[in-house]
Amino acid sequence: MRRSAALLLLFPLLALAAGARGGEGRAGAAPQRVVSLNLCADELVLRLADRGQVASITFLARDARASNVADLARGVPVNRGLAEEIAPLAPDLVIVGAFTTRATTATLRRLGFEVLELSVPQSLAEAYAQIRTVAARLGVPERGEAMVRRMEEAFARLPPPAGVPPTAVVLRPNGFTAGRGSIADEVMEKAGLANLAAILSIDRMGQLALEEIVRAAPDLLVVNAAEDAPPSLADALLRHPALAPFAAEGRTVSLPIRLWTCAGPELAEAADRLAAARLRLSAASPRAAVAAVRPVVAEGRR
């Protein structure tokens, strides 16, 4: 019975897909009905495409706690990543993420819709390439180039570190951190900070125990959560009493994860906030900051 019901639902989708494929002769033309099934794709589509090109974005784009484009998302139709709501829109381009809506992505491909899949950028170079790819497919390559240029200029304006960079560790819910080979690691380097997790040989998105963080005594603790985020068990570690001295000494900075998750101008904003925190550290105790980093760096290189 379930299989029969699924087939009955699929037949209308197949008919819609056949109608959508009727315009395949315009391959390479700028799409006029773009659908996004990924928050990072939402941000690029809303920033790069003409408003009339955007048929639907995810409902997440309207949540200001997670999205950098909540204002731009107002009034744009939203979806929840289901094939049965996407197919009737007859999109000529669907942009998805590498790890989201997998069943929907597979279904839309089987139905013949064009799907552009975005990976998770692990470097600024990959982020720039992704921006250029999306802009080119939307038919506005010049807008992608302009976005990349603005980001490069913003990074170039960051104040350079004086002396040995202070150490910092990113603390995310459940003890996850940003390690070597991640885009957050590169953003921290641009901001003039030495990523403690990279020194301790944590790759990409590993975990650091609370005891490791306290023992290593980083100069700066980057709390990767929005200040207005609702309480959760995953966030409990971020508020552990053992980390209270960091806040009391002004050695913490709150950085919402939305600022350095996607390819976009917020990466430069994240670096700017981190650089400002570094300057505050130096102004408060420049000698202490330099002295604290040397043993940690030396230990990490043994």
pTM for the full predicted model: 0.82
Residue 48, classified by CB atoms within 10 Å of its CB into exposed (0-12), middle (13-18) or buried (19+), is buried
Report residue 205's pLDDT band, with 50, 70 and 90 as the boundaries: low
Q: Are 118 and 96 in contact (CB under 8 A)?
A: yes
Q: What is the DSSP annotation of 255-300?
A: --GGGGSSSSTHHHHHHHHHHHHHHHHHHH-HHHHHHHHHHHHHHH
Report residue 299's pLDDT band, with 50, 70 and 90 as the boundaries: very low
Report residue 226's pLDDT band, with 50, 70 and 90 as the boundaries: low
Please give the Cα distance from 225 to 238 (Å, whole number). 9
Q: Identify the residue with better confidence: 239 or 171.
A: 171
pLDDT per position as a tens digit, 230-264: 665 556 666 788 888 888 888 888 889 899 989 99
Report residue 302's pLDDT band, with 50, 70 and 90 as the boundaries: very low
Q: Identify the residue with better confidence: 219 or 299.
A: 219
pLDDT of residue 198: 83
pLDDT of residue 283: 80
Map out the domains of the chain with their CATH numbers. 26-153 (3.40.50.1980), 162-300 (3.40.50.1980)
Q: Which helix (H) or strand (E) holds 96?
A: strand 93-97
pLDDT per position as a tens digit, 38-72: 999 999 999 999 999 999 999 999 999 899 999 99
Counting Cα atoms < 13 Å in the Cβ hemisphere of 201 gives 4
* Amino acid at residue number 223: V
Sheet holding 115-118, edge to edge: 78-79, 54-58, 34-36, 93-97, 115-118
pLDDT of residue 96: 97
pLDDT of residue 180: 85
